[in-house]
Structure 1
Amino acid sequence: MDILIAVAAKIAEYTIAPIGRQVGYLIFYKAKFKELRDRVSDLEYKRDEIKQRVEEERRNGKTTFDVVQNWLKNVDDAIGEATQLQNDPRRAEAGCSRWSFPNVVTHHQLSRKATKVAQKVVQVRGGGDFSQVAYRPKLDAVSAFTTRSSQNLEPRKPIMENIMHALRDPKVSMVGVYGLGGVGKTTLVEEVYHIAKENQLFDEVVMATISKTPDIKTVQEEIADQLGLRFEEVTVAGRAPRLYQRIKKEKTILLILDDIWEALDLKKVGIPSDGEHNGCKLLMTSRTLDLLRQMGVKEHFRLEVLNEEESWSLFQSKANNLDKELDKHQIAFQLAKRCAGLPILIVTMARSLIDQNIHAWKDALSQLEKVDNEELQEITYSALELSYKRLKDNEMKAFFLLCATIGKDPSVNYLFKYGIGLGIFNSTNIMEGARNRLHNMISALKASCLLLVDNTSTTRVKMHDVVREVAISIAYKDYHILAKYGDGDNLREFPKMDILSNCSQIILRYGAFRQLPEKLDAHNLKIFYLSNFDLSLEIPNFFFAETKFLEVLDLTGLNLTSLPTSFLSLTNLKTLCLDQCVLENIDAVGALKNLKILSLWGSSMIKLSSEIGKLSHLRMLDLSDSGIEIIPAGVISSLIKLEELYMGNTSIKWKIENSDNQDENASLDELRQLSNLTSLELQIQEAWMLPRDLMFHKLERFKIVIGDVWEWADIDDVTLKTLKLKLGTNIHLEHGIKGLMRRAENLYLDEVEGISNVLYQLNGDGFPQLKHLHIQNNALIQHIIDFIERSHIPTPFPNLEKLVIQNLGKMEKICHGPLAVGFFAKLLAIKVEKCNKVKYLLFVSMVKGMPQLAELEISKCNLMEKVVFEDDDASAMNDETGETIQFPLLHSLTLQHLDALECFYSHPPTSSPISLFNNQAKC
């Protein structure tokens, strides 16, 4: 009996159960499709969550894991398969057969397919639980900052091949390249870096610059950044083993250490040596072979200067249109020959003579031929010195030396402050003219190849190391300019007085002095710069007693609770910088009657000295990022010649009008007296503190932040005209703020009352200078632009690059009415968030006018149904012309938390197809 029961059960398992499943497909037909819809909906929510996380990480510079990208692709495939099944035309035909009964066969097939697809959706959904969706990629040390030139490297191919062969040799762990400064060592190893990367010769390739005065911590950080390592340790000794462990984890790794001047302790850095890691190869460059041997290098290569043919080829490539100027050919050939085969000299000389007449070429050759010393290093200095001498005037030469001596990659702002003090810009008597002169000089030095072209920063200038060395040598030899830079170890002793006595400029950066001499005996001194960052260092009272001709004084990072009495003798001083200092009593500054620039940037002083009001010639006052809270009444209004006033990122307690409790505090009303003001940085907490009829007609640069919702740190240093406003009332219609709006490049608006149409009520000229518009938290605005209200306005927003709209409760559309031609033509990015009355964002005709749009982000707009919608004009035009609509440059599209979204774009069936992303986009 047991056997019979078992046999019966087995028969049931193989017959009844399958039959039950097949019958279930028929009975639960609708339930199967409902389950499929529910599973797809759940998967879509999970997909949107992962996409949001991916986008957030992307904005933080991270790269999405491949497994996440693959999962998102699988999700799209699964949803696509489910959508195709749900839209299967057989579903409509499966309701009944020609005998009015349900089509059993079709029901069974579709139900079975729905079950399988639902199982696949569930399976894909289960693979989407990621703890992390992205990682921070390792930095590329070279490719982001250099431009490869195969022409410059053509003569170097043989030595390049030898270096690559040595790096492939398992018996060789250290390879060295040496040669004169400017011979092209860095360019060569940068190319090695690229070749090793592109051909995946090593698991990791890292490059770090050591320099003449290496900072071990900086070297550690430079290597760690490229390996994706984040240090928790603070000290050099603590970081070394961490970096060592990280390098050891790589099976093969190439470390390129460029520009070594003295023996580097590899263990101190954290780099394996002496066979500690067989997969670790070191490639080092230096100016001397002895140093490479001292480091343990046995396989080394000397980088020679270029021969005549190579030099001539390189010179021709850099001197534009030389083939068309035959009269210069012979001179050019001789110049190339006299440059001693050094690429940096050839390039510098060739570019400096572009567009010069024949006389300038002959003069350059004549001066080079006078060089008697045959030593190549001397020729290097002589040729670069010649480029310096060819600068057109003494002011340009002084500015070039200033760029070299005040530190590596100096700030443009400090060059301006020092240049004013030294009288470099004396060709103009106004600050705005001096700034124009400054930028013109920088451009001229770049054109002469004495400054590097750096597109990554407009706030600093960069100079080649060899050029800087020559400049410092010239400065010391011809002008007795002493420039020393420390890293806390090599500048502990103050220079001997016999060295300083004849100096015209003394630059001592990042010193570690414990004590200063009682008196600085330097009668000819024009500039004195000292940064120490040691609060225990004191300046003796008579330190400046013998420096009466001092024009620029910069004391950075010192404890100056009271100024030395010898300050009173500095009556010739034009520029005084007491930045990042501890300050209390600086009343002695009031005696500096000729002072033009006073900078207290980043200092901790709480109350500004009333004596500053006596500085009748002051043109710039910089209180940015300082701790100043109180400015005595009358100080600002006394500075009637002031042209630039910087008070950004401060918490100054301004006097409240009609209040008797703050009589000693300055009022913003004092700004009325500054009729020459052209630059202003100001931050206040409440709009009502600003006088209503205060006008700013002459401002050429301004960064003004009003309200407690904005962060000063978010303002970039490049934009000249930024306005961030939180205006709880409509006072913007009553004072000079409206005038600033018309000229702003960056405009941020929060809680601007009384405004329903941004364009016409704030700027009837159409905001011609605006590049960035950010509007948030307004309950009245219905449209950013309403062309119906006023149609005769000039083309609006012709230069706008970014538009951000957040939390506008009544906004229905960006634009209303027929559009003007050419507006939004330069728009790169649009971000819309929490605008819950917007159903349709963009007209098709608007899209056609946005050829540059690269980023589009829309989120939390609960009623939005379509992103792009067809207006009547566009529909008729497309029907007639068959024209396609595209976002050709769009690379970032974010749509999230849009509960009512039906599709991205839809159009009537009679319209021509619309191609939005260079692919057909349909809802």
Structure 2
Amino acid sequence: MEILSSIVGIVAEHTVVPIGRQASYLIFYKGNFSMLVVHVKDLEAAKERITHLVEEEKRNGRKIETDVMNWLEKVDGVIEKANLLQKDHRRANARCLAWSFPNLILRHQLSWKATKIVKDVNEVQEKGKFDRIGYLPTLDGEASSSSSSSTRGGEIYETRESLKENIMNALAHHNSCNIGVYGLGGVGKTTLVREIAEISKQQKLFDAVVTTHVTKDPEIKTIQGEIADLLDDIWTILDLEKVGIPFGNEHNGCKLLMTSRNQDVLLQMDVPKDLTFKVELMSENETWSLFQFMAGDVIKDSNLKGVAIQVAKKCEGLPLVVVAVARALKDKRDVQSWKDALRRLQSGHHTIFSALELSYDSLESDEMRDVFLLFALFPSQMVDYFLKVAMGLDILKHVNSVDDARNRLYSIIHSLEATCLLEVKASGSIQMHDFVRDFSISIARRDKLVFLRKQSDEEWPTKDFLTRCTQVVLDSCVYELPQMIDCPYIKFFCLSSKKNRSLKVPDDFFEGMASLRVLDFTYLNLSSLPTSFRFLTDLQTLCLNFCILENMVEIEALQNLVILCLRGSSMTNLPREIRQLTQLRMLDLSDSGIEVIPPNIISSLTKLEELYMGNTFVNWGDANSTVQNKNASIVELQKLPNLTNLELQIRKTWMLPRDLQTVFEKLERYKIAIGDVWEWWNSKRGLSTKWRRISVAETSPRPK
């Protein structure tokens, strides 16, 4: 290890970037091979899932798409390369053993190969997302696939195909700019537009195709970040010039395809009436075809078919309802369950809500139902936020670590996706259909006594309701808080004050919330934390994101805090009181203004499992100095035996300890940037394997 330390020292003295790509291969040898094992397992799991789908398609008489077969072949090749490297007998000479020193050149080569194969694994896995796996082969005399009807599971939907063809013709016409699609909620507008977007990509009609969601209260920056050529699902008139979208004669190459429930909204968005296309309800035959496909083999039971046809008819031609009901009944083989479903659909005041309640009740556990209701409260939030909240509320059962909780949450999300109640975007945000969200919020209000305030003119609930409610969510619509609210059973309080950064939180505000487990303050100016924090002894999760923070003395009272998130907050010094939070398992300081961390704070958090400091430039002390530093040094991370996940930014080479391997070798996932980094790479932690990648950033000097 002394020789390796010397090499690191030489690198540090003679390079601008102390641990660039080359030195990292030596230091992170063990981590790179651990990373290889993790990612190969992920790829093998993805391969297994696709293989199961392929087998199912073959059993149904379908042919497999060529790109799917090519992908499986590439997967086998990459996995074989990884296995050969892991079994390479030369690895014995590259390890650090007590009685011998490793062959550094060989260690470098093997580590480099491991990193290269991980990159190949990730690239292959990213390409393993298919719109469909198989297709029904055409019969002799039938038209080619390019002119065949729309299919879902091989079934034909003539009306949708005709509409799709008309929209594609409008997109291809050189004079068209704005095109609109309208129809009832749940009728399938978004699905239709996604199919058109995919065809446009395949036919290379445009350089780029992007979708975005325009809500009742549009978030301009979010829209600007997602938009290129295609707008999807518009609730209200949008100022195109404000979000920077070329329109009209300004840019003839830009086409806007918009969906709305209201044709008038499209007309006010300058869509010509002859370029507005209505999506009609599905016919009875189309409805039954889709229902059979979604319900599966259970529909073939002669005892069920009669009632199943009646259930399908009650879906009233709305694909959203058909899918929700069919998925809920897919594994029900007793006629009583089907008759009960029919009764509920017949007696329901609103077909869609009745169908969604049936689907909701069919979820396999209260744990899954609680997670589903939580998602509805925060449109488009990232998965990592829900992890913090779900852990704090103790929704996730039988988990022993943060990583266990994350895996359990991912599993629940995948199950909810399978029921078509939600979807996860590539960015890692949770998306729900508007009807699904409205339904979920109504259930949360009814069953969980949730108070959700979205408009400033909404009245506060009665004192009686507050004494019973369990969750309060105030969404950027509060201009004054009461001195105190009496909520003895409240578990979750969330307040975003983006529209009123000067909002004051009274000192006694939390005195009546002794049962609070999760507190989320966003965009607040907190000159000091309320003194009533001392009553929050059960608090598990505290999020103070994008806040201006000064005096945080009261935080020391939160002795049972497990998760502390100060992402994007403005503060220079990490408060010394945080060292009292000895139960912390996750600390998130990403994108914050923290520059100074006093010694012995980080090292006192011995239960810490995950530490995130990406894009946070801390003035670390000299880890190799024998003199007491004013600031904490990176070597304090050695005193965190449970640390597995780390994101870290390191400014200067002298901040690094010589024996880097002992600091970082136990980590399972990390992102580390060293040097004068002027841009932190994308660190969104969604469901993708990229979040789990062990990587070292190649850094570069600040551009002049």
What's the TM-score, normalizing by structure 1? 0.51
- Mapped partners of 1:224, 1:716: distance in 2: 19
Summarize the alignment of residues 654-665 of structure 1 with structure 2, pairs less than 5 Å apart: 654-657=620-623, 663-665=629-631
- Mapped partners of 1:227, 1:340: distance in 2: 30
Displacement of 1:386:
1.3
- Greater CA deviation, 591-600 or 441-450? 441-450
Q: Is the CA contact 1:655–1:662 (under 8 Å) kept in the aligned structure 2?
A: no
- Mapped partners of 1:205, 1:683: distance in 2: 34
Summarize the alignment of residues 615-654 of structure 1 with structure 2, pairs less than 5 Å apart: 615-654=581-620
Displacement of 1:699:
2.6
Deviation per CA, 1:650-703, whole angstroms, max 9, x where unpaired? 221222247587644223232232111221222223266226263456432222
| Bigger-Rg structure (1/2) | 1
Summarize the alignment of residues 151-162 of structure 1 with structure 2, pairs less than 5 Å apart: 151=151, 154=157, 156=159, 160=163
Q: Is the CA contact 2:579–2:602 (under 8 Å) kept in the aligned structure 1?
A: yes
Q: Is the CA contact 2:183–2:260 (under 8 Å) kept in the aligned structure 1?
A: no
Partner of 2:398: 427
- Mapped partners of 1:666, 1:241: distance in 2: 44
Equivalent residue letter for 1:383: A
The alignment status of 1:467 with 2:436, answered yes or no, reads yes
- Mapped partners of 2:473, 2:217: distance in 1: 19
**Gap change, CA 1:260 and 1:370, over 3 Å in 2:** closer
Displacement of 1:417:
0.2
- Mapped partners of 1:571, 1:238: distance in 2: 49
1:182 to 173, 180, 186: 186
**Gap change, CA 1:198 and 1:703, over 3 Å in 2:** closer
**Gap change, CA 1:371 and 1:154, over 3 Å in 2:** closer
Deviation per CA, 1:136-182, whole angstroms, max 9, x where unpaired? xxxxxxxx9988981367253598499879989xxxx9998765421
Deviation per CA, 1:790-820, whole angstroms, max 9, x where unpaired? xxxxxxxxxxxxxxxxxxxxxxxxxxxxxxx
Deviation per CA, 1:253-281, whole angstroms, max 9, x where unpaired? 986542256975977xxx448xxxxxx44
1:350 to 326, 336, 348: 326
- Mapped partners of 1:391, 1:155: distance in 2: 33
**Gap change, CA 1:652 and 1:193, over 3 Å in 2:** closer
Displacement of 1:213:
0.7
Displacement of 1:327:
5.9
Partner of 2:77: none
Q: Secondary structure at the match of 2:495?
A: strand
**Gap change, CA 1:145 and 1:709, over 3 Å in 2:** same
Q: Is the CA contact 1:266–1:272 (under 8 Å) kept in the aligned structure 2?
A: yes
Displacement of 1:196:
10
Equivalent residue letter for 1:548: A
Q: Secondary structure at the match of 1:366?
A: helix
- Mapped partners of 1:637, 1:588: distance in 2: 21
Partner of 2:355: 383
- Mapped partners of 2:491, 2:640: distance in 1: 30
- Mapped partners of 2:662, 2:470: distance in 1: 45
Q: CA RMSD in A?
A: 4.6
Partner of 1:415: 386
Q: Is the CA contact 2:328–2:358 (under 8 Å) kept in the aligned structure 1?
A: no
Displacement of 1:547:
1.5
Alignment gaps of 5+ in structure 1: 1-143, 229-235, 274-279, 286-300, 723-742, 751-775, 778-923
Partner of 1:875: none
Q: Is the CA contact 2:181–2:260 (under 8 Å) kept in the aligned structure 1?
A: no
Q: Secondary structure at the match of 2:641?
A: coil
The alignment status of 1:528 with 2:504, answered yes or no, reads no
Q: Is the CA contact 1:702–1:721 (under 8 Å) kept in the aligned structure 2?
A: no
Q: Is the CA contact 1:629–1:651 (under 8 Å) kept in the aligned structure 2?
A: yes
Q: Which has the higher contact order (CA 8 A, sep 6+)?
A: 2
- Mapped partners of 2:267, 2:550: distance in 1: 45
**Gap change, CA 1:513 and 1:660, over 3 Å in 2:** farther
Partner of 1:215: 218
- Mapped partners of 1:497, 1:428: distance in 2: 37
**Gap change, CA 1:689 and 1:227, over 3 Å in 2:** closer
Partner of 1:313: 289
Partner of 1:150: 150
Partner of 2:656: 689
Equivalent residue letter for 1:385: E
Equivalent residue letter for 2:436: V
Displacement of 1:481:
1.8
Q: Secondary structure at the match of 1:442?
A: helix
**Gap change, CA 1:222 and 1:260, over 3 Å in 2:** farther
Displacement of 1:475:
0.9
Q: Is the CA contact 1:160–1:188 (under 8 Å) kept in the aligned structure 2?
A: no
- Mapped partners of 2:207, 2:603: distance in 1: 61
Same amino acid, percent of matched pairs: 39
**Gap change, CA 1:162 and 1:349, over 3 Å in 2:** same
The alignment status of 1:393 with 2:365, answered yes or no, reads yes
**Gap change, CA 1:440 and 1:216, over 3 Å in 2:** closer
Equivalent residue letter for 2:438: E
Q: Is the CA contact 1:203–1:251 (under 8 Å) kept in the aligned structure 2?
A: no
Q: Is the CA contact 1:504–1:524 (under 8 Å) kept in the aligned structure 2?
A: yes
- Mapped partners of 1:197, 1:697: distance in 2: 44
Equivalent residue letter for 1:156: T
Q: Is the CA contact 2:484–2:508 (under 8 Å) kept in the aligned structure 1?
A: yes
- Mapped partners of 2:243, 2:516: distance in 1: 48
- Mapped partners of 2:675, 2:598: distance in 1: 23
**Gap change, CA 1:715 and 1:708, over 3 Å in 2:** farther
Partner of 2:638: 672
Displacement of 1:626:
0.9
Partner of 1:705: 673
- Mapped partners of 1:326, 1:145: distance in 2: 34
- Mapped partners of 1:203, 1:672: distance in 2: 52
- Mapped partners of 2:460, 2:596: distance in 1: 39
Q: Secondary structure at the match of 1:607?
A: coil
Q: Is the CA contact 2:299–2:308 (under 8 Å) kept in the aligned structure 1?
A: no
Displacement of 1:440:
0.9
Q: Is the CA contact 2:646–2:667 (under 8 Å) kept in the aligned structure 1?
A: yes
Q: Secondary structure at the match of 2:608?
A: coil
Displacement of 1:483:
3.2
Equivalent residue letter for 1:439: Y
Summarize the alignment of residues 132-531 of structure 1 with structure 2, pairs less than 5 Å apart: 150-151=150-151, 154=157, 156=159, 160=163, 180-187=184-191, 213-215=216-218, 217=220, 225-226=228-229, 239=241, 246-248=247-249, 256-260=257-261, 264=265, 271-272=269-270, 280-281=272-273, 303-304=280-281, 306-321=282-297, 329-330=305-306, 332-354=308-330, 356=331, 358-359=333-334, 362-373=336-347, 375=349, 378-405=350-377, 407-452=378-423, 454=425, 456-457=426-427, 459-485=428-454, 490-491=455-456, 495-496=460-461, 498=463, 500=466, 502-509=468-475, 511-531=476-496
Q: Is the CA contact 2:672–2:695 (under 8 Å) kept in the aligned structure 1?
A: no
- Mapped partners of 2:295, 2:443: distance in 1: 26
- Mapped partners of 1:423, 1:223: distance in 2: 34
Higher helix share: 2
Q: Secondary structure at the match of 2:312?
A: helix
Displacement of 1:328:
5.1
What's the TM-score, normalizing by structure 2? 0.65
Equivalent residue letter for 2:542: L
Alignment gaps of 5+ in structure 2: 1-128, 133-147, 172-176, 232-237
Q: Is the CA contact 2:673–2:696 (under 8 Å) kept in the aligned structure 1?
A: no
Equivalent residue letter for 2:407: N
Displacement of 1:553:
0.6
Displacement of 1:419:
0.6
Q: Secondary structure at the match of 2:591?
A: coil
**Gap change, CA 1:518 and 1:635, over 3 Å in 2:** same
- Mapped partners of 1:352, 1:254: distance in 2: 38
Equivalent residue letter for 2:321: L
The alignment status of 1:546 with 2:515, answered yes or no, reads no
Deviation per CA, 1:51-77, whole angstroms, max 9, x where unpaired? xxxxxxxxxxxxxxxxxxxxxxxxxxx
- Greater CA deviation, 207-216 or 559-568? 207-216
